Amino acid sequence: MSATNLTLNDHVVQQRRTSIHRLNADILLHVFKICRDVEPVDIWNVSRVCSRWRSLSLEHSFLWARVTVNRRSIDLLGYYGFGNWLDEWILRTGTTRALDIVIDTEHIDKYNWWDWPSDDDLGDMVLAFARQAHRWRSFSYTLDLPWDTDFGPARRSENHYTRQKFVESVRSLPLLRSMRLMQTGAGPSCAYSPQTVYSLLHHATDLHLSSLSLINIFVNEDIPSGKVDRFSYHVTPDWSFARDTLLSALQAYSSMRCLHLSGSFYHDEDYDDDDDESSAIVLGSLEELHVEPSKETADALSSVDMPCLAKLTVAGRGHTMIHDSDAIQFLRDFSFHPHSPLLMTLVLHLSALRVPWSDIACFSALKTLRIAVPILHFSWLTIPETLSTLWTKKRRDDGKLTWCLPQLQALILDVNVDGGFNHAIMTQWTQLDTELKRHFQDRWAAAHREDENIAVLGIDIISSNRKIEVRETGHRNDHTTAIE
């Protein structure tokens, strides 16, 4: 008895001494929310720590509203009985809360092919989510299956039944604003593939998507496009779509404001270029274009009119570096576009050190230029051929001396320094600032003369933990910031 008391007392003392117990419920909930946002299935872990955490997490349905089926949730909750925990998870979201759904079969290859995923599994899962379709706020479905996946003989009658159930459920999607569908490998051969889900959307009567991302999906023009603001269309290297497929997709979502485009689009010999011109696509609201450069993409975009385009980003997926020759060729092709001189912001991710100034100079109205480039040393920034195009006047074909990119107000260099910062680089950091100021003195002075129509240029150099702002001397204090 006394031993029990001692244990309980110890427990109480321990609880009082632990600062986590002094945190109020609001702060704990905020921590839980961030845990949930980093990895949705972690809310299950949170609910199994202690009675207080369990009560708090189960009382707040918003913590459960990101329902995710992926490798990590299967690792934690198990493959067997997966339908049970999925039902329990959905139950914990309540009945009215908007849901963010993620299905992602990538990286599940550790499971035996006879275990997961079967056609029935996918059908049950898709149907379980479809029953809550009226609560979907976002829906992301990635089906990546190995090529040797064998679904076995399809049970057509059951598939048909499930399909009907699905169609009935997705007729009303009043809350859905964001959708991402991706299929690769053997994914499309599944009866409940992302392509199937996309195709069935034409039954929806109140679709109000603002963001749509399609990867290896054929666009069906029957599907209500609504006012999709952000559209992303990607084809992975192991797939290839015809150019007219891309153009159909752009036509279907022509009211978009922002477009991300990448992939392989081959030119269909049967496609008549004359028809192409007569049915030129106009993206009248497009302001931002993010593109992974290739000749095929440049060709396809040559028949697309973008009168309001203000920002162009040329980079790989996820802002990765690209082959410079592709980027340069793309810029060169794009500069012939009728509205390219109106472009105001250009973002360029390069893999090598040579900046294609002659191609960039074609975009004469640029106000902001951002270049991401890996460098070995900061001294590269003061080598004449790097930035001299901007700090020296050049003679044009008509013999007149002019500044390159006269409207440029912000040059941002994202530099990735090999080996990080060391003492030698620290020493050169200050010298770099002084050197650049010396070089740009003439341009800054010209910006204050009435006969020269150029803007004052500010330069930001950003590395992983340093930022230097080079500004016109005497007009604004320049400074550097750092993590010490």
Partner 1 sequence: MSITLISKEGAQFLVSKPVADRIGVVRDCAYGADFWLGYAVATDDSMGITLANVTSSILSKILVWCEHYKDMEPLVDGDSNMEFPEWDMAYIGHDMNQILFVLEAADYLHIPGLLLLACKGIADVLDGRNPRGICDLLGIVMDFSHRQEVDMDKENGYWRWFLHPT
Structure tokens at 70: 């992926």
Residue placing its CB nearer to partner 1 in the complex, 123 or 187: 123
- Rounded distance, CA 357 to CA 362, Å? 9
Q: Which residues contact residue 104 at a Cβ distance below 8 angstroms, ignoring those fewer than 6 apart? A: 68, 69, 70, 71, 140, 142
Selected binder of partner 1 within 51, 278, 422, 427 (CB under 8 A): 51
44 binds partner 1 (CB under 8 A): yes
d(CA 79, CA 112): 11
Nearest to 367 by CA among 411, 336, 328: 411
Options 6, 9, 23, 282; binder of partner 1; rule CB under 8 A: 23
Paired sense of beta strands 394-395 and 401-402, if any:
antiparallel
User: Between residues 38 and 401, which has the closer beta carbon with respect to partner 1?
Assistant: 38
DSSP letter at 44 equals: H
Q: What is the nearest approach in angstroms of partner 1 to the Cβ of residue 32? A: 8
322/325 Cα distance (integer angstroms): 9
Single out the residue of 466, 459, 387 nearest to residue 425, CA to CA: 466
> Looking at beta carbons only, is 87 or 158 nearer to partner 1?
87
Minimum Å gap between C-beta 185 and partner 1 is 27
Closest residue by Cα to residue 315 from 345, 288, 351, 287: 351
Out of 25, 31, 91, 282, point to the residue binding partner 1 (CB under 8 A). 31
CB-nearer residue toward partner 1: 17 or 400: 17
Q: Does 308 bind partner 1 (CB under 8 A)?
A: no
22 is a site residue for partner 1 (CB under 8 A): yes
Which of these ranges, 41-49, 206-214, 255-263, 381-389, lies near partner 1 under the rule CB under 8 A? 41-49
Should residue 14 be labelled a site residue for partner 1 when binding is judged by CB under 8 A?
A: yes
Of the pair 31, 376, the CB lying nearest partner 1 is at 31
Is 39 a binding residue for partner 1 by CB under 8 A? The answer is yes
Q: Please identify, using beta-carbon distances, which residue of 320 and 465 lies nearer to partner 1.
A: 465
59 binds partner 1 (CB under 8 A): no
Give 248-269 as a 3 state SS string.
HHHHHCCCCCEEEEECCEECCC
Our CB check for partner 1 shows the closer of 59 and 238 to be 59
Determine which residue in the list 34, 91, 308, 424 makes contact with partner 1, applying CB under 8 A: 34
CB of residue 475 to partner 1, shortest distance in Å: 18
Told to check if 25 binds partner 1 by CB under 8 A, we report no
SS3 465: coil
Count of helix runs (H) and strand runs (E) in the chain: 16, 21
The CB-of-45 to partner 1 minimum distance in angstroms stands at 5
Q: List CB contacts of 254: < 8 A, sequence separation 6 or more.
A: 281, 282, 283, 284
For the beta carbon of residue 72, count every other beta carbon within 10 angstroms. 15
Q: Does 19 sit near partner 1 (CB under 8 A)?
A: yes
Residue the block writes with tokens 């500004």? 471
Question: Which residue type sits at 2?
Answer: S
Helical spans, DSSP H, in 39-140: 42-46, 51-59, 71-77, 82-92, 119-130
The CA angle 477-478-479, to the nearest 5 degrees, is 120
- Per CB under 8 A, the list member of 2, 4, 24, 427 interacting with partner 1 is 24
Is residue 426 a contact residue for partner 1 (CB under 8 A)? no
Task: For residue 55, give Cα distances in angstroms to 37, 60, 62.
Answer: 19, 9, 14
Residue 192 interacting with partner 1 (CB under 8 A): no
Judged by CB, which is closer to partner 1: 139, or 444? 139
DSSP state of 267: P
- Tell whether residue 88 is a contact of partner 1 (CB under 8 A): yes
Q: Which of 9, 37, 268, 279 binds partner 1 (CB under 8 A)?
A: 37
Among 113, 464, 475, 476, binds partner 1 (CB under 8 A): 464
Residue 38 lies near partner 1 (rule: CB under 8 A): yes
Task: Specify the 3-state DSSP secondary structure of 481.
Answer: strand
- Contact mark string toward partner 1, 310..349, x via CB under 8 A: ----------------------------------------
Determine if 17 is a binding residue for partner 1 (CB under 8 A): yes
* CA 161, 167, 173, 179 torsion-angle sign: positive
State yes or no: residue 80 binds partner 1 (CB under 8 A).
yes
Q: In the block, which residue shows the tokens 């996309």?
A: 198
With CB under 8 A as the contact rule, the residue among 6, 25, 50, 424 that binds partner 1 is 50
Among 6, 25, 59, 81, binds partner 1 (CB under 8 A): 81
Of 231, 229, 222, 135, the C-alpha closest to 181 is 231
Of 279, 320, 358, 465, the residue at the interface with partner 1 (CB under 8 A) is 465
d(CA 292, CA 260): 8
Do residues 210 and 170 touch, judged by C-beta distance below 8 A? no
Interface pick for partner 1 out of 9, 45, 205, 302 (rule CB under 8 A)? 45
Residues in contact with partner 1 by the rule CB under 8 A: 11, 14-15, 17-24, 27, 30-31, 33-35, 37-39, 42, 44-46, 48-51, 53-54, 77-85, 88, 464-465, 481, 483
